[in-house]
Amino acid sequence: MAHDWHPSVMRSTSLISKSGPLADTLSGTLSSTISSTLAGSIEVIVGSMFSGKTEELLRLLKRAQFARQATQVFKPRIDSRYSVDHIASHNKNLMAAHVIEKAADIYQHLRADTRVVGIDEGQFFDQELVDVCSDLADRGLRVIVAGLDTNWRGKPFHPMPELMAVAEHVHKLHAVCVVCGAAASRTQRLRPSTQEILVGDDSSYEARCRECFDNSLGLVAELDLAMDEGITGTDAGTHLLVAHDCHKNIHTVHAHEL
């Protein structure tokens, strides 16, 4: 039954519609089960790291299971934190999950009786996640997606903003700013890196509020460039102070070079 949804003829660039090629692959059982009487929807759970997004996703999925609604959970392969085939909150709450490469892979695993689809770490999926979630909701499924709404630079983390736009419900959660104790909406990177994503390295991040957030902490490339070019002005000095705050080794090395 798991292959009833396999989009063997799905075109990657086209929105999957009810009358599209995917519909042709649906079994009669599935088509009749997901009837127009079921109201599908998209719910998005967003916030910074440590805001409890996965915990909230698990809570909603468990509620659905108590209501005897069949659920399935998906996560991107990129997240290897704690367990490769479960979604896991920071307090080690677990739920079995399908690990997939891209959003459209959901169709390969989706069972005919599934009513609720949970997706964790939505920000790591491709942009097609928006179309896949919309298609599932159009077919009567309840789709719940958890993910970071901003990256370590404090900028929108696609495709979550687009998903929020088409969702029926958006739950915006907040962590606690480790600096001042206010509600935290940003994910602060603590050590410089040239990598856009430091997956599974929670010690490199902390939650901060807008006031305490400083996206220059992760900019190792600019710091190194300033040193290489012998820039000793205000900009380089500012970067040095920033590096000193959270990464003393780098401060020491580059101070010597200066």
CA distance 201 to 237: 28
Nearest to 49 by CA among 179, 146, 170: 146
- Whole-number minimum distance, CB 160 to Zn ion, in Å? 23
# chain residues binding Zn ion, by CB under 5 A: 6
Minimum Å gap between C-beta 180 and Zn ion is: 3
Positions in 84-143 near Zn ion (CB under 5 A): none
176 binds Zn ion (CB under 5 A): no
177 interacts with Zn ion by CB under 5 A? yes
Identified binder of Zn ion from the candidate list 26, 179, 183, 190, rule CB under 5 A: 179
In angstroms, rounded to a whole number, what is the distance separating the alpha carbons of residues 158 and 122? 9
Amino acid at 27: S
- Please identify which residue in 26, 78, 170, 182 interacts with Zn ion, judged by CB under 5 A: 182
222 is catalytic: no
Q: Which stretch binds Zn ion (CB under 5 A): 54-62, 68-76, 128-136, 201-209?
A: 201-209
- Residue 180 binds to Zn ion (criterion: CB under 5 A): yes
Pairing state between β 41-47 and 142-148? parallel
**Least gap, CB of 175 to Zn ion (angstroms):** 10
Region near Zn ion per CB under 5 A, out of 75-83, 87-95, 113-121, 210-218: 210-218
Catalytic residue among 121, 211, 222, 257: 121
Query: Which neighbouring-strand residues pair with 73?
Result: 118
Rounded least distance, CB 208 to Zn ion, Å: 5
Does residue 212 belong to the site contacting Zn ion (CB under 5 A)? yes
Task: Decide: is 209 part of the binding site for Zn ion (CB under 5 A).
Answer: yes
When asked if residue 207 is in the footprint of Zn ion (CB under 5 A), the reply is: no
List residues binding Zn ion (CB under 5 A): 177, 179-180, 182, 209, 212
Catalytic residue ranges: 121
